DNA sequence: TATTTTTGAGTGAAATTCACTCATTAATGG
DNA sequence: CCATTAATGAGTGAATTTCACTCAAAAATA
């Protein structure tokens, strides 16, 4: 993937030149999953002056692929590079549009309708989902959004438009993809304990897993390598510290070995 | 899904009005799988005057959803209604366009460039795949294509543009979806034998399956009901005739029971 | 009528799943 | 300093599933 970074533009210029540089009526939206250690969360942003929460989105430059647009979005808006990012579905209901929320916003901002009109049309959006280390991302407002924060997976109904539905679909795909362990690797810090890994699985699957059996199955795949003896946490018995063996990862993917928890 | 059928237009009017009624730079393409009894095949069409083969495609009216456009495409072009149809991926490379093949064609046809120009731009296409009963579809040329035929899954490299790749991706998804038996139900006639069902599985998976074990597993799910005693084929011992029990179907889907061959 | 080919049915060893118990470790409280 | 406690690490065995395999049945064919 080449670097298609463009200067971080002011929101108004981003929008006003839109119809010339972007693919018309097309956007991408990314569901970015994180894991607090207990709960599955997704990243939500609040556009300037608009009192709504949405998942991060972008438009597609005429000169870039949709995958590049998705990566650029994360890079420019969140400073995230090198991340697991996967297209999972495209949403194209006939009445899908920003119009309701956007008109108010632009009139407040004093933008001329001839400039933002292209934005109020019906939009088809390509959904991506990503997994990110909860602690490494430091959400900070930029010119593209006023506020940004993690919201619990059970609170997504506060999202505007059809974004709650997009998140639900993404979560269903994530659950299916759970077998491909590389998916969740980026949800965890570089090193972690097996109980932590189990909690992540339980958060995604939404059900409890037997402790002993989980441990056995994971270790049997040889996908983990012990890196430290103990944790500085204040638990009783200190759990072993592990990290993913990236080579074994790819092997498992190619063998299409299903772990099956 | 409402009926959004429009009169079958002449190819030229279909194209010339395009930029006004269709979503710009967006199309859908459908990979339609069939099963000959031995081999997996896909439907390919040849546009008028163009010496290329492509999979069926359409544009999306501003007033219809992408799913409706996909269904309409099959209805208008192939006379197929009520079919299993599933979106599987969107293709959006920066250089994806009909330009190469189309310019020659329209110049031959004497269409003014101002009319077909919108068609030569970069296009993003939403991929759908469908399963159809090989015998029920009777491919016949219409105003939208000059010729149409089934091609073997191993001969898709003759397809133009990135369509071979689209078919490959669809096949990979079909293989994954094979567990959800309803997917393949529409590939078979209403009644069929277990050996026929097994051959279909082998054609999709691309490998041999043990006969006895396959039989056991399928029958254990109670998804089949015996409908006739024997077949009029000229085999040795006549196999039992079965059909899918639609109710049991949905049950299995909801239980998310994996058959796992 | 014997042969051949295909379907239908069954068997058992090997592997996997899954609920469960026991041992180990180190912080905590007295 | 020691018993308690809470968490991790390790193991066990019954039940189930997988999978390669054999045998029986049915009907066309020679």
Contact in structure between B191 and B237 (CB atoms under 8 Å)? no
SS3 content of chain A, % helix, strand, coil (to 5): 40, 25, 35
The list of chain B residues with pLDDT below 50 reads 1-9
pLDDT digits (tens, 9 = 90+) for A76-106: 888 888 778 999 999 999 999 977 666 777 7
| CA–CA distance, B223 with B243 (Å, rounded to integer) | 9
Q: Is the pLDDT of residue A258 over 60?
A: no
pLDDT value of position B2: 39
Taking the C1' atom of every nucleotide in all shown strands and the CA of A209, the nearest one is C18
pLDDT digits (tens, 9 = 90+) for B139-171: 777 777 888 999 999 999 999 999 999 999 999
Interface touch A64/B94, C-beta < 8 Å: yes
Contacts of A93 in chain B (CB under 8 A): 65
**Nucleic strand D within 7 A of Cβ A109:** no
**Nucleic strand D within 7 A of Cβ A186:** no
Q: Please tell me which of the candidates A24, A63, A126 has its beta carbon nearest to residue B25.
A: A24
Neighbours of B142 (CB within 10 A): 16
Q: Is the pLDDT of residue A18 over 90?
A: no
Interface touch A68/B94, C-beta < 8 Å: yes
For residue B22, what is the nearest residue in chain A, using CA coordinates?
A25
Distance A217 CA to C23 C1' (A): 20
pLDDT value of position B72: 94
pLDDT digits (tens, 9 = 90+) for A213-253: 999 999 998 999 999 766 666 668 889 999 999 888 877 76
Q: Which residue is nearest to nucleotide D5 (CA to C1')?
A: A236
pLDDT value of position A256: 57
Q: Please report, for chain B, how many H helices and E strands are present, in that order.
A: 10, 8
pLDDT digits (tens, 9 = 90+) for A141-169: 777 788 899 999 999 999 999 999 999 99
pLDDT value of position B86: 95
pLDDT value of position B245: 92
Considering only residues A256 and B221, tell me which one the structure prediction assigns the higher pLDDT: B221
Distance A212 CA to C5 C1' (A): 51
Tracing tokens 């590049």 back to the chain, one arrives at A68
Nearest CA among B122, B127, B115, B112 for reference residue B54: B127
For residue A123, what is the nearest residue in chain B, using CA coordinates?
B23
Distance A115 CA to C17 C1' (A): 62
pLDDT digits (tens, 9 = 90+) for A158-206: 999 999 999 999 999 999 888 777 788 889 999 999 999 999 999 999 9
Q: Is the dihedral of CA B32, B35, B40, B45 positive or negative?
A: negative
CATH number of A190-255: 1.10.10.10
| CA–CA distance, A159 with A151 (Å, rounded to integer) | 10
Domain covering A5-178, topology = Nucleoside Triphosphate Pyrophosphohydrolase (3.90.79)
Counted across chains A and B, CB pairs separated by less than 8 A come out at 53
Distance B213 CA to D18 C1' (A): 9
What's the burial of A191, exposed, middle or buried (CB within 10 Å: 0-12/13-18/19+)? Answer: middle
The encoded tokens of residue A27 equal 């956007």
Give the SS3 label for residue A204. helix
- Can you point out the beta strands (E) in chain A? 22-35, 40-46, 57-61, 84-91, 124-131, 147-152, 224-228, 241-244
A49 φ, ψ (degrees, to nearest 5): 70, -10
Please, which positions of strand C sit below 7 A from a protein CB?
4-11, 16-21, 24-28
The residues near A188 (Cβ < 8 Å, ≥ 6 apart) are A35, A133, A196, A197, A200
Interface touch A87/B89, C-beta < 8 Å: yes
pLDDT value of position A183: 81
pLDDT value of position A1: 38
The encoded tokens of residue A156 equal 């997504």
Query: What DSSP line would sit under B63-103, residue for residue?
Result: TS-HHHHHHHHHHHHH---S-EEEEEEEE--TT-BSHHHHH
pLDDT value of position A69: 97
Q: Which helix (H) or strand (E) holds B165?
A: helix B163-177
The residues spanned by each domain of chain A are 5-178, 190-255
Q: Is the pLDDT of residue A111 over 50?
A: yes
Interface touch A87/B87, C-beta < 8 Å: no
Q: Which helix (H) or strand (E) holds B244?
A: strand B241-244
For residue B88, what is the nearest residue in chain A, using CA coordinates?
A89
Please, which positions of strand D sit below 7 A from a protein CB?
5-12, 18-22, 25-29
Contacts of A126 in chain B (CB under 8 A): 90, 92, 124
For residue A260, what is the nearest residue in chain B, using CA coordinates?
B258
Interface touch A60/B92, C-beta < 8 Å: yes
Q: Which residue is nearest to nucleotide D28 (CA to C1')?
A: B236
pLDDT value of position B249: 80
What is the reported pTM? 0.90
């Amino acid at each position: 993937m080449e670097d298609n970074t463009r200067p971080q533009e002011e929101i108004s210029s981003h929008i006003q030149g839109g119809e010339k540089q972007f693919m018309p009526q097309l956007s991408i939206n990314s569901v970015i999953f994180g894991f607090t250690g207990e709960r599955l969360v997704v990243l939500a942003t609040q556009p300037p002056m608009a009192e709504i929460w949405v998942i991060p989105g972008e438009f597609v430059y005429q000169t870039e692929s949709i995958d590049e647009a998705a990566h650029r979005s994360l890079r420019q808006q969140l400073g995230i590079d090198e991340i697991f990012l996967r297209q999972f579905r495209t949403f194209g209901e006939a009445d899908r549009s920003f119009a309701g929320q956007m008109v108010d916003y632009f009139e407040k901002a004093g933008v001329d309708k001839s400039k933002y009109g292209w934005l109020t049309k019906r939009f088809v959006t390509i959904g991506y989902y990503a997994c990110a280390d909860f602690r490494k991302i430091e959400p900070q407002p930029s010119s593209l959004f006023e506020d940004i924060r993690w919201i619990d997976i059970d609170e997504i109904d506060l999202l505007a438009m059809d974004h709650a539905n997009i998140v639900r679909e993404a979560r269903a795909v994530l659950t299916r993809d759970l077998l491909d362990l590389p998916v969740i690797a980026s949800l965890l810090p570089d090193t972690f304990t097996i109980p932590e890994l189990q909690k992540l699985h339980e958060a995604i699957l939404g059900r409890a897993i037997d402790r002993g059996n989980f441990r056995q199955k994971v270790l049997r795949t040889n996908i983990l390598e012990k890196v430290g003896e103990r944790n500085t946490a204040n638990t009783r018995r200190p759990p072993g510290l592990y990290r993913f063996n990236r080579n074994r990862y790819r092997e498992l993917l190619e063998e299409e070995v299903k772990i099956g928890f």
